[in-house]
Amino acid sequence: ITKAKMPEEAEKVAKKQLDRLKGMQPSSAEYTVTRTYLEWLVEIPWSISTEDHIELSEVRKCLDEDHYDLDKVKKRIVEYMAVRKLKNDKKGPILCLAGPPGVGKTSLGRSVARAIGRKFGRISLGGVRDEAEIRGHRRTYVGSLPGRVIQGIKKAGTNNPVFVLDEIDKLGHDFRGDPASALLEVLDPEQNSSFSDHYLEVTFDLSKVLFIATANQLDPIPWALRDRLEIIELPGYTRQEKKMIARKFLVPKQLDDHGLTPERCDITDEALFEIVDSYTREAGVRNLEREIGSTCRAVAVKVAEGQAKDHEVIGAEQVEEILGPKKFVSEVAERTAEPGVCTGLAWTAVGGDILFIEATKMPGKGKLTLTGQLGDVMKESVTAALSFVRGRAAALGLDAGNFLENMDLHVHVPAGGIPKDGPSAGVTMYTALVSLLTGVPVRPDVAMTGEITLRGNVLAIGGVKEKLLAAHRAGIKRVIIPERNVKDLIDVPEEVKKEMEILSVKRMDEVLALALKDPPASIIELAKAAQAENHPTA
């Protein structure tokens, strides 16, 4: 007890329990419970801490060795270490890395620990439903133990580890309590200096711990908990970045895992691009690593059977032989060749994606049918788009009187098995409807995003970077975004901005002139009027 160098309060409790233990029979159940409790108190690293690497150049170098890009996170860690250098008693920040799967959130925690010279601890919160998992069970319960936080600290062996709380957005809650609420005390820098575990019943100082939470989505995290986190968003990688990550990290790792050497086997850049484009469609690099592993196994079989050359080179041609038929082929051009089909952009928990809006007409009495598992907000978006079309019928060159009286409209958003919601497809809905009713197809290289109003204004949306990366992956060359989202382009990689024409609009009339293949004169006139309204000349 003396060697553990506990705080005064904990030492007092430990000595009191030791005195009780002396008066007990070793065969009694209470003896075992008290002894286990004392062992926990003694083994917790109350005063053991590691010395930080304060040299910022070393920290930067270490972070760069393990991860490509992720500049925002690296910058924040370097800032924290710079402050630690100037003020040693600085409390640890509570960071939350939010992004799609496979971008390196969890592995980054280990890398941060190595960079700043600390021990590493990790607990997975996915599916945790019981509040006692965080705070522990009281000692009155049979087989009770401290919560996962204290267990993780003990396992790390120091009181200032880098502690990763994995999948914080997957926490559950039921009749046994809400673990997200229990985490409020753990993750509040003002309170966690006196964290009390139900089992220990003495306070432990968590303020020296550098907590890093990871999440795919921020929406499921309760607001009170999210308010305590410093959120750093990690977007998906571009095609070029994936190639660089594969070349620098994934290929050497997979070669080593499969008993190959760079001298024995080489995967060309063309082969890597082929795998990225035709065999994976993801924001991260998890599937890319899997496919590289499959390629390495094919070479390993050849080597083991003695059929391999001294230096096997895997090019783009060999990729299809090894991995089979292409899993992904760009279908934007063929799907948008007809009037009434338009390409939109969506944000999902696994990064951005493209979606197609299909509209068709048939003889009827003005009925509107919506399919594709659309949520309420998306359904209202279609209704708003149709109302705006009806209001602008004459200006668009449609029969203003009865153009919808003798026909039914059907709007479908594939894939039908995936639920969809949100207002950002309003612009796409409107363009698809106008394309259908005027008979003018949408340009195959165009995608768009934006919310619309009944006055024809285009409102800002979220997830701009993820949506633009998805458009870039799909081979889109022209993207239309709301003018109010131009400020978000600062986060988009230069490579993507160079390869795509990104156009900003304020009014719906401008969208049609940019999106339709051969816009009629009436639509061009409307676009000119809208631009004149937006940018009046003196």
So what's the pLDDT on residue 251?
Answer: 93
pLDDT of residue 254: 93
At residue 538, the pLDDT reads: 44
Task: Exactly one of 74, 243, 467, 506 is catalytic; name it.
Answer: 467
Per-residue pLDDT at 155 exceeds 90? yes
pLDDT at 270: 92
Residue 365 has pLDDT above 90, yes or no: no
Q: Is the dihedral of CA 182, 351, 285, 372 positive or negative?
A: positive
Over the stretch 249-261, which tens digit does the pLDDT of each residue have? 999 999 999 988 8
What pTM was estimated for this model as a whole? Answer: 0.78
Query: Cα-atom radius of gyration of the chain, to the nearest Å?
Result: 29
123-145 tens-digit pLDDT = 998 888 888 888 889 888 888 89
Give the C-alpha distances (Å, rounded to integers) separating 399 from 359, 366, 388, 389, 432: 19, 14, 14, 11, 18
| Beta carbons of 149 and 206 less than 8 angstroms apart | yes
Per-residue pLDDT tens over the stretch 186-225: 888 888 888 889 998 899 999 889 899 999 888 888 888 8
Is residue 330 over pLDDT 70? Answer: no
Q: Verify whether residue 361 is a known catalytic residue.
A: no
Question: Which of these is catalytic: 381, 424, 435, 506?
Answer: 424
| Helix ranges, 339-440 (H) | 376-391, 426-438
d(CA 41, CA 13): 9
pLDDT in tens, 19-74: 988 888 888 888 888 999 999 999 999 989 898 877 888 888 888 888 887 888 88
pLDDT tens for each residue of 419-449: 788 888 889 999 999 888 888 888 888 999 9
Mean pLDDT throughout 329-333?
64
Instruction: Give the pLDDT confidence of 445-487 residue by residue, as tens digits.
Output: 899 999 988 888 889 988 888 888 888 888 888 999 999 999 9
Catalytic (active site) residue 424: yes
- pLDDT of amino acid 188: 86
Residues 124, 197: Cα–Cα separation, whole Å: 19
Angle between helices 269-278 and 316-323 (to 10 degrees): 50
Instruction: Give the tens place of pLDDT for each residue, 158-192.
Output: 999 999 999 998 887 777 678 888 888 888 888 88
Q: Using one digit for the tens of pLDDT, what is the confidence trace for 87-106? A: 877 677 788 998 888 888 88
Query: Distance between CA 164 and CA 183 in Å, rounded?
Result: 13
pLDDT in tens, 515-530: 888 777 777 777 777 7
Averaged pLDDT for residues 233-259: 88
pLDDT at 535 over 80: no
pLDDT top residue among 388 and 351: 388
Q: What is the pLDDT of residue 90?
A: 67
pLDDT of residue 331: 61
DSSP state of 406: T
Report the alpha-carbon distance of residue 268 to residue 148 in Å, rounded: 45
* pLDDT given at position 180: 83
Please list the alpha-helical segments (H only) found in 372-493. Answer: 376-391, 426-438, 464-473
- pLDDT band for 239, please (50, 70, 90 cuts): confident
Buried b (16+ CB within 10 A) or exposed e, 485-499: beebeeebbeebeee
- Tell me the pLDDT band of 537, cut-offs 50, 70 and 90: very low
